[in-house]
Chain A
Amino acid sequence: MTRQIATFHLGETLMGIDILMVKEINRQVNISPIPDAPPQLRGLMNLRGRVVTVIDLNVCLNRSPTGNIDAARLLILKTREDIQDFVADGQLEDMAVGEDIVGFVIDRMDDVATVEEDEILPPPPNVADIGEDLIRGVIKRGNRLIILLDVAAVLEDVMAAGK
């Protein structure tokens, strides 16, 4: 099965998630910070009347928090309800991504990569600095390596944060 992966830059790393998961890319506007929140939670944003929880992916991946958030982009994800049809059609595996809209803070978008399922390789033992459990797999594109993110696992971590 062919899949389309939206790729984006986060620091030195090229990362990817299935394009069916992406709602839109947004320049961050007017984020209200959440006082006393764990560092993963950068704030809340109004997206056409819906509340988006802005998550600092860098913190989730155990890196230092994104410095200049004003220059960053937001990768806004679909909710579980939004992806339901793709799941029903078998285009996407069901993921516990919840019904709240989240936006990941990223540096910038890159291309959309079309990959075959068998091109997605299991994550090698130590991919850069990222915890293995947060990676679905890796894709080799020429001399570049795309790290396919396990979105549900990342969100799970965020929820557990600040215990």
Chain B
Amino acid sequence: MTDFDELLPAFVEESQQHLQVIEPDLLALEKSGENVDPDTVNRIFRGVHSIKGASGFFGFQNIGRLSHVMENSLSLLRDNKIPLTTPLIDALLSGVDALKSMLEDISGSESFDIDSEIAFLKGLIDENAEAPKTVAVYKKPADHQTTGTVPAQFHVPRSEIRRLVEAGQNLYAVKIYLNEDLRKRGRTPYDFINNMETTGEFIDSFLDVESVSGLSDCLENELAFDFLFATDLTPGTIPHALDLPGDRVTVIDLGAVEGKEGKEGTEGQRDRGTEGQRDRGTKAGNEGASEVPGKKEPEGRGRGRGRGHVQAEEKIRVGVNFLNELVNLAGELVLGRNQLLQAALPLVKSTPGLNPVLQHISRVTTEMQEKIMQMRMQPLAIVFDKFQRVVRDLAKKHYKEIRLVASGGDVELDKTIIEGLSDPLTHLVRNAVDHGIESPGDREKAGKPRYGTITLKAFHQGGQVHLTIVDDGRGVDPDFVAGKAVEKGIISREAAAGMSAKDRTRLIFRPGFSTAKEITDLSGRGVGMDVVLTNIEGMGGTADLESAPGQGSTVTLVLPLTLAIVSGLMIESGGQFFILPEVDIDELVRVKPDEIGERIDAVRNAWVLRLRDVLLPLVDLNRLLGLTEPGAGTDLTDRDDPLRIIVVKQGGIRFGLVVDRIVNTEEIVVKPLPRYLKRMACFSGVSILGNGKVSLILDVAGIVKKTAIRRLETIDEEAERAGEQEEGAVAAEVQTLLIFDNDTPERFALPLELISRIEKVSASRIERIKDKQFLQYQGEKLRLVFLEDHLPVTRPERSPDDTIGLIVPKGMAHPMGIVFKEVINTAMAAVELDTASIMAPGLFGAAVIDDRITLLPDMYRLFEMAAPEWYRTEQAPGGVEKKAPRILLAEDTPFFRMVEKDYLASAGYEVLAAENGRQALQILEEEPVDAVILDIVMPKMTGWEVIAAIRSDPRLEKLPVMAVTSLGNEGDLSVVEKGYEAGFDEWELKLNKTRLLEKLAGMLRSAGAKGESS
């Protein structure tokens, strides 16, 4: 190992740290405009200066030359010799860039072409001011170890000398030897310079490179460096302050140097005493504090040096590898602790004193692990800071005016996450600049300030970090996005039409989507929002986009604080344990054997789960991982134990994972996948469980890929469409029907969305009370309704040994169930209801489904007939003398429209029917109505949009409006809540006649009361 090898990394690292501070400072300077902040200029100056100085050590002439020119222009700026202009900032920034690239490839730095950067800066200096006159202050004596050295001189700008004299500084030439003074004592050049800067000001350094023929030569010889050092310390104290032998310091008579110029020499001398005194005062207590780059310190230019008054917290550098090892060990310790607790728990009672010890160890372990995890935490500012520059450059290039406001830079995240955030955030910020913010002209036309604002904000919430990227630009047009998505074949036109504006906006996250109309320099370089989403989800986070067209958009990222410890669900499949990260999990579904036929279906050879309104693709983990016995059936429906399904989501795709058993949740320490397993798509890492076994962590993204994402997507699309069709949103006439029989030739069908559950029970469990039949079910007495008792159908032979089926509908005040025999099928069909040929109370009518005549029972009417004591039909308020209340009914499914209209008419209402939201609004424009009943999911305009329009119209503000929908059933109160917030007066499920009429009447009464009192 050579001297240079040891010192070089420190030089590069510290120089980079300086540059990290210089760049934002330059940008701040540009923003401040006319009012140049001298402190900022000084800080930049010092940073550049330090780089220049240290580069001298290593003989990096290019870095030295460039930083020298930058330093010169900064000193001119400081002295108000040149004005602060955009070209100057540009030139300095390009200098910073060049320094950065040279530092990245330090060994090749001499071959960099920095002429243009230097010329750029020089041009600006020469244009604005004369080149600073320098004066030779010190003849470098010949080196004592190398012979034949050409003596050299330090050249210092005259203004600098004058400044020093005015500040009452002494100037010294200091010589140090690389081996003797630095390396042997474990110091780096920066340490030395930093130390120097605590007591004075380092002016320049010099490495006599001409005396050595090359690097190899200088490695063997002792290298000497010469420094020029200004301080108010007296000559006698310098060796002590710099920790050097006394013969290394030569005093330079500043008066004499100044005198060479023949100006102000005596005046300078006279001031010296008092200034020096003052400086000594401010310096007290600061000796030895090392400079931390980036620490904001006030520095007055008159004082020559002004060290910060804050003592820097002591810090040491630790390698990341070392830290990672510590993190791993901490994880092990936690595991060991858990095992210990498990093993020791039975002994606690019989061993006095054991419990406190265990608890103590447990607590200390937890705390230690937390602290160790904290060591990996880094502030978001690391990522945020670079965006000032990115935004500035991009905005300039595109003639936009953009302000970037960042807050929450002090929020800390795990290093891995910080690193992983860089790319997605850059993309989002670039997107905001490129697509979000309009040109100044367009903005003014739109009545916005010329300046666009991009806000980056980070904050803690619920143990996670939220990060928002907000711009006040043109926003995202959901229709444009949807159009694009359809054009690119990402979704079908029908699916797009049925989506809410928000969901349409979110299509931007779909793979293969990019809104850039053409590939620009900024974004759309093949990485789209889908990559952003994948990256963020890969780190266990989520991404969402909200946008108000014309007003801007907000991207919200939610991220975990750390990656190393995650909460996971332990599952068993094929006799093995696996971990599924909890962030990937949406919900757990258990399908009982008798529901399997009902809820599990095959769509084009792929299994799907019917979950509420959508079909979810299913992945059988056993099959995916080859854990099934060869030859075992792949039919998921062919089983007699419940099916356990974990609904997971990844990159906008949701699917169900079929597993054998769900064990429990566990906090696990994630270890990287051994390199031999890197090819295995389904795993993302490994972990050691509490029982000491190694377990694999499932990678949901990998599973998506492995199971052929396209196919999943197509199913997803079909599922979406199916879901919408159930709601009747797209093809208004299509409904999903449950087809069943009653152990007789007749077939029956009920709309699936009205059904809450289907159960199979033994007929022997039926209990009779007089002429009523009940079944004890989940602690309730379920009243049974037999079709044959109320409808003109064949009576089946019933025996107590039978297994019967029960249909339990949604939204029942009293528990009731319809008895049937077998589920035949579910069918999506356009019901052409024939109400003429077979007509009976309790029957909507008949329809031909799957080539068979099928009866559609009127479920709620059946219940009324079976238990009239529970039902009382609320008649329309008003009487004979008053006109019947007029109701506007908006419902897109003809079947429901007909049935609901029938209910209303039978209760004495006058009904106006609309097929969609838009039509409903047209009717409202033209006709006075007393109340409105709205379906929520409708084409053209949804119920949400209609209610918004109604409530924003002063004439219709107080109109009673009721939602009648199949949304919001079974405890999903959030939708109902949302409904009330949106302005609905009532919320009711479809086809519940009694409740519909009750609520409608109540609504009209209270509206009437209000109307009379006001």
Which of A's residues lie within 8 Å of B, judged by CB? 30, 32-37, 40-41, 43-46, 49, 51, 53, 55, 98-100, 102, 155, 158-159, 162-163
Closest to B626 in A: A36
In the complex, whether B680 has a CB less than 8 A from a CB of chain A is: yes
Q: Of residues A40, A44, A159, A162, which shows the largest number of chain B Cβ atoms within 10 Å of its Cβ?
A: A44
Given A35-B625, A44-B674, A162-B679, 12 extra CB contacts under 8 A: A32-B695, A34-B696, A36-B624, A37-B677, A41-B677, A44-B696, A46-B688, A49-B329, A53-B674, A100-B674, A102-B676, A163-B679
Q: A35-B574, A35-B625, A35-B627 are in contact. Are A30 and B677 (CB under 8 A)?
A: no
- Measured in the bound complex, the distance between the Cα atoms of B677 and A99 in whole Å is 13
Cβ-defined contact, A32 with B676, below 8 A: no
A41 near B574 with CB under 8 A, answer no
Give B688's nearest chain A residue, CB to CB.
Answer: A46
Within the complex, which residue of B329, B678, B680 is in contact with A36, where a contact is CB–CB below 8 Å? B680
Least Cβ–Cβ distance between A19 and chain B, in angstroms: 23
A32-B625 CB under 8 A given contacts A37-B677, A41-B676: no
Q: Interface residues of B: mostly helix, strand, loop or mixed?
A: mixed
Give me the 6 closest cross-chain CB pairs, A-B, nearest first: A35-B625, A49-B332, A44-B694, A100-B674, A53-B674, A32-B694
In the assembled complex, the CB of A161 is this many whole angstroms from the nearest CB of chain B, namely 8
Interface string of B675-717 (1 = CB under 8 A from A): 1111110100010100011111000000000000000000000
Given contacts A41-B677, A100-B674, A100-B675, is CB(A33)–CB(B576) below 8 Å? Answer: yes
Q: Which residue of B lies closest to A55 (CB)?
A: B676
Closest Cβ of chain B: how far from A158's Cβ, in Å?
A: 5
Cross-chain pair count, CB within 8 angstroms: 69
Closest-CB distance, A10 to chain B (whole angstroms): 19
Hey, which chain B residues are within 8 Å of A35, CB to CB? 574, 576, 625-627, 696
Residue of A nearest to B321 (CB): A81
The interface residues of chain B lying within 8 Å CB-to-CB of A55 are: 676
B676 near A53: Cβ-Cβ < 8 Å? yes
A83 vs chain B, min Cβ distance (A): 17
In the bound complex, residues from chain A placing their C-beta under 8 Å from that of B692 are: 30, 46
Identify the closest chain B residue to A40 (Cβ). B676
- Chain A hits for B627, CB < 8 A: 35
Any chain A CB within 8 A of the CB of B671?
Answer: yes
Mask of B801-829 contacts with A, CB within 8 angstroms, 1/0:
00000000000000000000000000000
The answer for the CA separation of A98 and B692 in the assembled complex, in Å, is 24
**CB neighbours of B693 from chain A (8 A):** 30, 32, 46
> Does B335 interact with chain A (Cβ within 8 Å)?
yes
**In the bound complex, CA of A55 to CA of B674 (Å):** 12
A44 and B625 form a contact (CB under 8 A): no
Cα of A33 to Cα of B577 in the assembled complex, Å: 10
A44 in contact with B675 (CB, 8 Å): no
Question: Across the two chains, which residue of chain A brings its CB closest to B691?
Answer: A30
> Which B residues touch A100, using CB under 8 A?
674-676
In the complex, chain A residues whose CB is within 8 Å of the CB of B38: none
Contacts of B625 in A (CB 8 A): 35-36
8 A Cβ contacts from B412-461 to A: none
Question: Within the assembled complex, what's the spacing in Å between the Cα atoms of A68 and B692?
Answer: 23
Closest Cβ of chain A to B572, distance in Å, is 12
Given contacts A53-B677, A100-B674, A102-B676, A36 and B696 within 8 Å (CB-CB): no
Shortest Cβ distance from residue B671 to the other chain A in the assembled complex, whole angstroms: 6
Asked whether A32 and B696 contact (CB < 8 A) given A49-B335, A100-B675, A102-B676, the answer is: yes
Which residues on the A side are within 8 Å of B674 (C-beta)? Answer: 44, 51, 53, 100, 102
Identify the closest chain A residue to B696 (Cβ): A34
With A and B bound together, what is the CA distance between A102 and B692 in angstroms?
18
Q: Does B336 contact A (CB under 8 A)?
A: yes
CB-defined contacts of B574 to chain A, threshold 8 Å: 35
In the complex, the answer to whether B675 meets A98 with C-beta atoms within 8 Å is yes
| Cβ distance A73 to chain B, nearest Cβ, rounded Å | 19
Measured between beta carbons, the chain B residues less than 8 angstroms from A158 are 676
Q: Is the CB of B688 within 8 A of A49?
A: yes
B874 to nearest A CB, angstroms?
61
- CB pair B694–A45 under 8 Å, yes or no, is yes
Chain A residues, Cβ within 8 Å of B680: 34, 36-37, 162
Whether B676 contacts A51 by the Cβ 8 Å rule is no
Residues of B within 8 A of A163 (CB): 679
CB distance from B841 to the nearest CB of A (A): 59
Closest to A44 in B: B694
Neighbouring A residues of B679 by C-beta, 8 Å: 159, 162-163
A69 to B626, CA, bound (A): 20
CB within 8 Å of A: which of B287-333? 328-329, 332
- B677 pairs with A34, CB closer than 8 A: yes
Interface string of B562-577 (1 = CB under 8 A from A): 0000000000001011
Q: B residues within 8 A CB of A159?
A: 675-676, 678-679
In the assembly, what is the distance between CA of A41 and CA of B693, in Å? Answer: 17
Q: CB-CB < 8 A to B686: which residues of A?
A: 44, 51
**Which residues of chain B have C-beta atoms less than 8 A from A102's C-beta?**
674, 676
CB distance from B568 to the nearest CB of A (A): 16
Measured CB to CB, the closest approach of chain B to A81, in angstroms, equals 9
Q: Give 19 CB contacts A-B under 8 Å.
A: A32-B693, A32-B694, A32-B695, A33-B576, A34-B680, A34-B696, A35-B627, A36-B626, A37-B680, A44-B674, A46-B694, A49-B329, A49-B335, A51-B688, A55-B676, A99-B675, A100-B674, A158-B676, A159-B676
